[in-house]
């Protein structure tokens, strides 16, 4: 070996460590614990200070700790163990030939064994302004000091990145008195660790504490004023002012030294199970390594790596086989835990418990009778138990039913069966916390004749408020009645125990304004619903909060998302609106041109008095819409749970029997009602006399003109179960007919279940009740006013918006593959 | 350079809870999904039932509901869930440095045999 000999070292091997951080020092501690005299140790640290606990920088920023509190190894430790610490002098080069490292100061240190523990670097998003003064990262004490200096001056802070680090930075800065905005690219905070439901709770809580949380927000640039950061511009055009910008969007293993020395590097420095790199004299440990394809960003794996590394260096190799990690957020007052896999994978089953009154969400993911993941919010007491089950891969079939209630409950032997557990409760035990109902009271109420969940709810109020005790009440029903339990009214879908009516009522009562909020407050048993409840909730919220609720496109069926009807071959059909069935040469010419230009294979006149172009490809939709828009036509909503058409006859203008201007009235009604979203499709017709050429008596709302005025009919439809309309009432003027039409539509919008057409709705509630409601002039006025208000926000032609480029991603391919080449689409 | 993995662009091009399509010339179109919590999967864009375009379905958990007749298809295995039987091929996918990569041989392997002119 040609490395220089150093006789002072008593012949000991020279161990050099690059990185005076958490892994580097822990590795040294582990080696010393096994064999204190074996190595002559030198540690290089880029930071000009001793080793400290990096994860505690968050409490330092928040003012809960001082730097002195978080030092792991003081100078005396280095001295006592005869370790040379070279701090503030980063290593610049590794010379593998000579087995030396060269530091920035020019200092050269020879090694027999080298440990690289350089950690990771914060990822800086490459936007204009990223290097401005006032833009900081969150990695070491210097960063914290910069943030503290900025906080002293006060003002606004923007934290880019809503992950663990970003949120801890935001919390600290906000405690230090800054006005903080978190800008997060994804729709869910901490999306790597949290599912949508827990992310939503976290967001609510942080907003309650005064932070502004912008999700789905993409940074375009960092703005400058007088050479200092002044704000952040988002891609959607919003500017947020800032005196301090913290970038916390992720980390990257710091592999520079290893890479330039020719050591094998992929995402991190590649190591084997003994933490040895491709060069047998060089080991690596901590966040900078990649072990079996994985890079870690948490401390727990480091401890295990350091043990394996020390075992190897002291000649009793054991090997490291990877880590399962769990996360907790260090923000005081917020309890949050996540571990393992909760992506809802195949064959896995979710066990979800929500308790809205206490702000608790717990989800344990089970596959093949083993816990594979857990997300806990609000009550993390059981986190360690679930994590333990997860790491051990223990079979949980014995405790499965009671798993979600926690260890004490689940492990209570005979109590594992939830019914048995409930049977074992004393009569005084409280079942319903909201209404203070004991087990004895519930049982008495059941014995008194309340044989269903609903009956119990209405008799003794148990489970009638937040619903979190529904399971317990059901157990009591089963125990008390044996097999006699009557099933309650149909629930909305398998994700909830509430009915459509319950959900609609509670949305208004509890002022619920977003899908995840409904799911949390109403104890949904699935993390993000299913294809039945998502579109229904989207509609209920849209109807409850007009102009306020932002339509969730991903909760809509494809036809409504793409504003066209999908056909069985995957192409789409396009139906422009023809007001009251009227058209003109200009429109017909534009339709003919479009049919040719976009290769419409079939052109058909629909039953709704307009023209349907079939066989249009998804990518061509915005272009064909633009062409039709240019000729003055808008979407016919032939694809939507919405107003479809207003069919008319020619009426008094041409027909010898005509009593009123049925065509004109139809056109007016279509202009007033188009664009409205409904529980299901909605069709209107106006006939000029009782001969009824427009077939108004099989429509959702049909008008038959008579000499003395207008007969208004409701609740008809064609289809498999043909149903003729019921007469609602008779009015004298067009204005009254229009007002009643709006009122009826609004009543239907507010009270029918999603996917229930007017016919089954009226059969369910009875025509009498509808007649009664609409016999009250005041009620009619109010309903019609609410309909007009909601129309204010819904009468935008969706085609024009899309043709103008809105949501282009829904229409374009992400990329295209041609043999041997790739063409990115954007 | 031809790598093992085909880079099809940044993950941010797919809104969580939705999917986008990747046509393959002479082959079968692929649907690339991103779930609500950000995981990505790729399947052939054809429902095992009657070839419905799965990319246009509603995504919940790691499942997509076909827009044509509401079959539920697992994004991880491509299998129909519940009582329905059938399976659609999956394409191995990885996300690295914020970009989506598909296994090249799986993408091209799905190319139809060259057709006689
Ligand atoms: C604010 C904050 C909060 C965190 N909270 C948690 C938490 O709650 N739970 C959790 O598990 N993890 C948390 N982490 C992550 C945890 O701190 C890291 O996983 C851990 O510190 C990694 O240890 P390491 O030794 O690999 O890297 P580091 O601790 O970063 O050590 C690397 C050291 O190497 C030095 N170095 C780099 N290059 C050179 C060079 N060329 N020459 C000399 N020295 C060099 C660096 O200056 C640094 O001191 C947090 C991190 C931060 C920043
Ligand atoms: C996916 C399924 C369906 C598609 C794609 C579809 C499509 C259409 C379209 C495009 C029209 C023309 C309407 C217009 O101009 O706006 C229409 C008309 C009609 N549809 Fe359907 N429809 C479907 C299912 C049904 C069902 C289930 C029923 C019965 C309940 C039904 C009953 C009718 C009737 C009666 C008409 C004539 C309407 C009129 O005369 O105004 N359709 N359909
Ligand atoms: S419904 Fe009466 S007015 Fe209208 S076209 Fe027929 S016959 Fe004429
Ligand atoms: S084609 Fe997918 S369910 Fe029928």
In this complex, do A814 and B51 lie within 8 Å of one another by their Cβ atoms?
Answer: no
If one counts every other C-beta atom within 10 angstroms of the C-beta of residue A223, the result is: 18
Q: Which residues of chain A have pLDDT under 50?
A: 1-7, 413-416, 825-826
What is the CATH classification number for the domain harbouring A496? 1.10.10.1100
Question: How many CB pairs below 8 A link A and B?
Answer: 135
If one counts every other C-beta atom within 10 angstroms of the C-beta of residue A320, the result is: 23
Residue A130 lies inside a defined structural domain of this protein: no
State in Å: Cα A709 to ligand 3 middle.
Answer: 15
Question: Whose CA is closest to atom 47 on ligand 1?
Answer: A46
pLDDT for A822 equals 55
- State the DSSP string of A262-309: T--BSSSEEE-TTSB-SSTTEEE-STTEEETTB---SSHHHHHHHHHH
Hunting for tokens 């710091």 — which residue is that? A254
pLDDT for A48 equals 92
State in Å: Cα A824 to ligand 3 middle.
Answer: 57
Contacts of A553 in chain B (CB under 8 A): 18
Contacts of B92 in chain A (CB under 8 A): none
- Which residue among A118, A147, A169, A256 has the greatest number of ligand 1 atoms within 8 angstroms of its CB, and so is best to mutate? A118
State in Å: Cα A667 to ligand 3 middle.
Answer: 16
Hey, which bits of A414-528 come out as E strands? Answer: 430-432, 437-438
Q: Do A163 and A264 have their domain in common?
A: no
Q: Do A355 and A497 have their domain in common?
A: no
The H-or-E segment that residue A820 falls in is none
Q: Do A712 and A766 have their domain in common?
A: yes
B87 part of contact set with chain A, CB < 8 Å: no
Residue A553 lies inside a defined structural domain of this protein: no
Q: Which residues of A299-313 are buried (b: 16+ CB within 10 A; e: fewer)?
A: bebbeebbbbbbbbb
The dihedral through the CA atoms of A603, A605, A606, A608 has a sign that is: positive
Residue A227 lies inside a defined structural domain of this protein: yes
Phi-psi region of A305 (alpha: psi -120 to 50; beta: other; left: phi over 0): alpha
What is the CATH classification number for the domain harbouring A288? 3.50.50.60
Cβ-proximal residues to A181 (8 Å cutoff; 6+ apart), any chain: A156, A157, A158, A159, A211, A212, A213, A214, A240, A242
| Secondary-structure breakdown of chain B: helix, strand, coil percentages, each rounded to the nearest 5 | 10, 40, 50
For residue A79, CA distances in Å to A25, A76, A592, A818 come to 14, 5, 89, 65
Ligand 4 atom closest to Cα of residue B50: 1
In this complex, do B13 and A187 lie within 8 Å of one another by their Cβ atoms?
Answer: no
Residue A803 lies inside a defined structural domain of this protein: no
B14 part of contact set with chain A, CB < 8 Å: yes
**Which residue of chain A comes nearest to B21, CA vs CA?**
A813
Q: Which of residues 335-364 of A touch B (CB under 8 A)?
A: 342-346, 350
CATH of B5-108, one of 2.102.10.10, 3.40.50.1970, 3.40.50.280, 1.20.120.1200: 2.102.10.10
B105 part of contact set with chain A, CB < 8 Å: no
Instruction: Show the tokens assigned to A193.
Output: 């660790």
- Which residue among A659, A693, A695 has the greatest number of ligand 3 atoms within 8 angstroms of its CB, and so is best to mutate? A693
Ligand 3 atom closest to Cα of residue A689: 2
Contacts of B106 in chain A (CB under 8 A): none
Q: Do A651 and A749 have their domain in common?
A: yes
In this complex, do B14 and A342 lie within 8 Å of one another by their Cβ atoms?
Answer: no
Which of A523, A548, A573 represents a domain boundary (last residue)? A548
The pLDDT tens digits for A663-710 are: 999 999 999 999 999 999 999 999 999 999 999 999 999 999 999 999
> What does the alpha-carbon distance between residue A213 and residue A242 come to, in Å, rounded to a whole number?
14
What is the CATH classification number for the domain harbouring A408? 3.30.390.30
pLDDT for A826 equals 45
pLDDT for A468 equals 55
In sequence order, the β-bridge partners of residue B95 are B100
pLDDT for A47 equals 92
Query: Mutate which of B12, B44, B55, B60 to test chain A, going by most A C-beta atoms within 10 A?
Result: B60
- In the Cβ-directed half-sphere of A188, how many Cα atoms lie within 13 Å? 25
Under DSSP, is residue A158 helix (H, G, I), strand (E, B) or coil? Answer: strand
Q: Do A648 and A792 have their domain in common?
A: yes
pLDDT for A781 equals 96
Q: Which residues of A432-466 are buried (b: 16+ CB within 10 A; e: fewer)?
A: bebbebbbebbbebbeeebbbbbbbbebbbbbbbb
**Which residue of chain A comes nearest to B57, CA vs CA?**
A558
Q: Do A208 and A353 have their domain in common?
A: no
In this complex, do A346 and B32 lie within 8 Å of one another by their Cβ atoms?
Answer: no
Q: Do A243 and A185 have their domain in common?
A: yes
Domain span holding position A195? 135-249
Which of A548, A576, A598 represents a domain boundary (last residue)? A548
Q: In what order do the strands lie in the sheet with A326-328?
A: A326-328, A336-340, A370-377, A360-367, A348-355
- In the Cβ-directed half-sphere of A502, how many Cα atoms lie within 13 Å? 22
Q: Do A736 and A630 have their domain in common?
A: no
pLDDT for A206 equals 92
Q: Do A381 and A431 have their domain in common?
A: no
Instruction: Show the tokens assigned to B25.
Output: 């010339």
Query: Mutate which of A194, A618, A814 to test chain B, going by most B C-beta atoms within 10 A?
Result: A814
Separation in Å, CA of B99 to nearest CA in chain A = 12
Nearest CB to A343: which of B39, B52, B108? B39
Residue A1 lies inside a defined structural domain of this protein: no
Residue A7 lies inside a defined structural domain of this protein: no
- Which residue among A609, A651, A704 has the greatest number of ligand 3 atoms within 8 angstroms of its CB, and so is best to mutate? A651
Q: In what order do the strands lie in the sheet with A643-648?
A: A643-648, A682-687, A701-706, A709-714, A726-731
- Which residue among A662, A695, A697 has the greatest number of ligand 3 atoms within 8 angstroms of its CB, and so is best to mutate? A662
Measured distance between the N- and C-terminal CA atoms of chain A, rounded to whole angstroms: 56
Pairing of strands B5-10, A113-116: unpaired
The dihedral through the CA atoms of A132, A135, A140, A144 has a sign that is: positive
Do the beta carbons of residue A102 and residue A14 sit within 8 Å? no
Cβ-proximal residues to A559 (8 Å cutoff; 6+ apart), any chain: A565, A566, A639, A640, B67
Nearest CB to B23: which of A194, A557, A813? A813
Residue A110 lies inside a defined structural domain of this protein: yes
Residue A758 lies inside a defined structural domain of this protein: yes
The pLDDT tens digits for A99-148 are: 999 999 999 999 999 999 999 999 999 999 999 999 999 999 999 999 99
Do the beta carbons of residue A609 and residue A666 sit within 8 Å? no
Q: What DSSP state is assigned to residue A618?
A: G
> What does the alpha-carbon distance between residue A371 and residue A364 come to, in Å, rounded to a whole number?
7
Q: Which residues line ligand 4 (CB under 6 A)?
A: B 47, 49-52, 66, 68-69, 71
Contacts of A554 in chain B (CB under 8 A): 15-18, 58-59
Cβ-proximal residues to A823 (8 Å cutoff; 6+ apart), any chain: A815, A816
Phi-psi region of A579 (alpha: psi -120 to 50; beta: other; left: phi over 0): beta
A294 part of contact set with chain B, CB < 8 Å: no
Which of A515, A548, A581 represents a domain boundary (last residue)? A548
> What does the alpha-carbon distance between residue A245 and residue A676 come to, in Å, rounded to a whole number?
43
Q: Do A521 and A378 have their domain in common?
A: no
Do the beta carbons of residue A714 and residue A770 sit within 8 Å? yes
In this complex, do A809 and B76 lie within 8 Å of one another by their Cβ atoms?
Answer: no
Q: What DSSP state is assigned to residue A816?
A: E
Query: Mutate which of A345, A373, A526, A531 to test chain B, going by most B C-beta atoms within 10 A?
Result: A531
Q: Do A387 and A475 have their domain in common?
A: no
> pTM of the full predicted structure?
0.62
Nearest CB to B76: which of A345, A528, A529? A345
Total number of domains in chain A: 6
Q: Do A716 and A792 have their domain in common?
A: yes
Hunting for tokens 């990877």 — which residue is that? A322
Q: Band of the pLDDT at B108, cuts 50, 70, 90?
A: confident
In sequence order, the β-bridge partners of residue A16 are A42, A114
Q: Helices A453-460 and A439-447, interaxial angle, to 10°?
A: 110
Domain range summary for chain B, segments of one domain joined by +? 5-108
Query: Ligand 2 in contact with A14 (CB < 6 A)?
Result: no
Phi-psi region of A65 (alpha: psi -120 to 50; beta: other; left: phi over 0): beta
Do the beta carbons of residue A232 and residue A183 sit within 8 Å? yes
- In the Cβ-directed half-sphere of A624, how many Cα atoms lie within 13 Å? 30
Q: Which of residues 36-55 of B touch A (CB under 8 A)?
A: 36-39, 50-53
Hunting for tokens 């996918």 — which residue is that? B93
The H-or-E segment that residue A243 falls in is none
Query: Ligand 3 in contact with A601 (CB < 6 A)?
Result: no
A814 part of contact set with chain B, CB < 8 Å: yes
pLDDT for B98 equals 86
The pLDDT tens digits for A229-246 are: 999 999 988 999 999 999
Nearest CB to A814: which of B14, B27, B74? B14
């Amino acid at each position: 070996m040609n490395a220089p000999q150093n006789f002072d070292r008593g012949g000991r091997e020279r161990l050099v460590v690059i990185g005076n951080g958490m892994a580097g020092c822990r590795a040294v501690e582990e080696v010393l614990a096994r064999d204190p005299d074996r190595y002559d140790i030198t540690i290089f640290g880029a930071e000009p200070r001793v080793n400290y606990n990096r994860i505690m920088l968050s409490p330092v920023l928040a003012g809960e700790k001082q730097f002195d509190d978080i030092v792991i190894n003081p100078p005396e430790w280095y001295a006592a163990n005869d370790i040379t610490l070279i701090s503030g002098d980063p290593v610049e080069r590794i010379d593998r030939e000579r087995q030396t490292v060269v530091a920035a100061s020019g200092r050269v240190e020879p090694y027999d064994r080298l440990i690289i523990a350089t950690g990771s670097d914060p990822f800086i998003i490459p936007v204009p302004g990223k290097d401005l003064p006032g833009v900081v990262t969150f990695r070491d004490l210097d960063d914290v000091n910069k943030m503290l200096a900025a906080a002293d001056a006060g003002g606004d802070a923007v934290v880019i990145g809503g992950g663990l680090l970003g949120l801890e930075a935001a919390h600290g800065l906000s405690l230090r008195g800054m006005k903080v905005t978190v800008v997060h690219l994804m729709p869910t905070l901490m999306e790597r660790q949290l599912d949508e439901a827990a992310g939503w709770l976290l967001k609510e809580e942080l907003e309650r504490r005064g932070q502004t949380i912008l999700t789905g927000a993409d940074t375009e640039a960092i703005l400058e004023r007088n050479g200092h950061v002044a704000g952040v511009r988002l891609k959607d055009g919003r500017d947020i002012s800032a005196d301090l910008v913290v970038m916390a969007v992720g980390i990257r293993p710091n592999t520079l030294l290893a890479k330039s020395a020719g050591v094998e590097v992929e995402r991190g420095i590649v190591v084997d199970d003994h933490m040895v790199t491709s060069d047998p004299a060089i080991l690596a440990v901590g966040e900078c390594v990649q072990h079996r394809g994985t890079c870690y960003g948490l401390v727990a794996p480091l401890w295990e790596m350091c043990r394996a590394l020390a075992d190897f260096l002291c000649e009793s190799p054991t090997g490291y086989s990877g880590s399962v990690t769990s996360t907790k957020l260090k923000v005081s007052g917020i309890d949050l835990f996540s571990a393992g896999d909760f992506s809802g994978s195949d064959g896995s089953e979710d066990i979800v418990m929500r308790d809205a009154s206490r702000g608790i969400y717990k989800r344990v993911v089970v596959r093949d009778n083993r816990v594979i993941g857990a997300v806990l919010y609000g009550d993390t007491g059981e986190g360690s138990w679930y994590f333990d089950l997860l790491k051990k891969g223990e079979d949980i079939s014995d405790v499965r039913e009671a798993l979600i209630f926690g260890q004490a409950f689940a492990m209570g032997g005979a109590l594992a069966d939830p019914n048995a557990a409930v049977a074992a409760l004393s009569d005084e035990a409280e079942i319903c916390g909201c209404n203070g109902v004991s087990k004895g009271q519930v049982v008495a109420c059941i014995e008194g004749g309340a044989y269903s969940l609903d009956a119990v709810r209405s008799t003794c109020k148990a489970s009638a408020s937040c619903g979190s005790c529904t399971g317990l009440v059901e157990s009591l029903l089963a125990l008390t009645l044996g097999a006699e339990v009557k099933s309650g009214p149909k629930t909305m879908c398998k994700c909830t125990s509430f009915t459509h009516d319950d959900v609609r009522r509670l949305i208004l009562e509890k002022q619920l304004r977003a899908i995840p909020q409904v799911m949390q407050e109403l104890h949904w048993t699935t993390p993000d619903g299913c294809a039945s409840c998502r579109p229904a909730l989207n509609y209920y919220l849209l109807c409850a909060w007009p102009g306020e609720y932002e339509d969730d496109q991903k909760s809509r069926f494809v036809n409504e998302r793409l504003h066209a009807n999908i056909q069985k071959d995957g192409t789409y059909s396009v139906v422009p609106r023809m007001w009251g069935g009227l058209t003109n040469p200009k429109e017909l010419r534009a339709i003919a041109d479009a049919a040719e230009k976009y290769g419409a294979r079939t052109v058909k006149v629909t039953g709704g008095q307009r023209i349907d172009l079939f066989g249009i490809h998804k990518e061509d939709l915005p272009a064909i819409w633009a062409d039709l828009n240019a000729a003055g036509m808008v979407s016919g909503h032939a694809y939507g749970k919405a107003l479809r058409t207003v069919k008319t006859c020619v009426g008094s203008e041409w027909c010898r029997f005509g009593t009123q201007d049925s065509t004109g009235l139809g056109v007016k009604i279509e202009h007033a009602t188009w664009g409205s979203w409904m529980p299901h499709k909605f069709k209107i017709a106006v006939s000029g006399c009782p001969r009824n050429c427009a077939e108004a008596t099989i429509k959702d709302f049909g008008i038959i003109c008579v000499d003395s005025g207008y007969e208004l009919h409701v609740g008809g439809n064609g289809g498999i179960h043909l149903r003729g309309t019921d007469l609602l009432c008779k009015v004298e003027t067009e204005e009254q007919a229009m007002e009643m039409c709006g009122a009826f539509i609004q009543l239907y919008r507010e009270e029918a279940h999603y996917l229930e057409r007017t016919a089954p709705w009226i059969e369910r509630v009875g025509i009498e009740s509808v007649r009664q409601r609409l016999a009250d002039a005041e009620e009619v006025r109010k309903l019609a006013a609410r309909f007009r208000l909601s129309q204010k926000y819904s009468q935008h032609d969706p085609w024009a918006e899309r043709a103008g480029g809105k949501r282009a991603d829904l229409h374009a391919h992400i990329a295209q593959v041609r043999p041997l080449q790739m063409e990115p689409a954007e | 350079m031809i790598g093992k993995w085909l880079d099809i662009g940044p993950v941010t091009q797919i809104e969580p809870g939705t999917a986008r399509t990747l046509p393959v010339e002479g082959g079968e179109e692929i649907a690339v999904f991103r779930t609500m919590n950000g995981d990505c999967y790729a399947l052939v864009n054809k429902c095992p039932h009657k070839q419905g375009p799965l990319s246009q379905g509603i995504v919940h958990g790691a499942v997509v509901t076909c827009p044509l007749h509401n079959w539920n298809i697992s994004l991880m295995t491509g299998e129909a869930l519940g009582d329905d039987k059938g399976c659609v091929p999956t394409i191995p996918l990885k996300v690295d440095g914020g970009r989506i990569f598909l296994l090249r041989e799986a993408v091209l392997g799905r190319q139809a045999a060259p057709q006689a002119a």
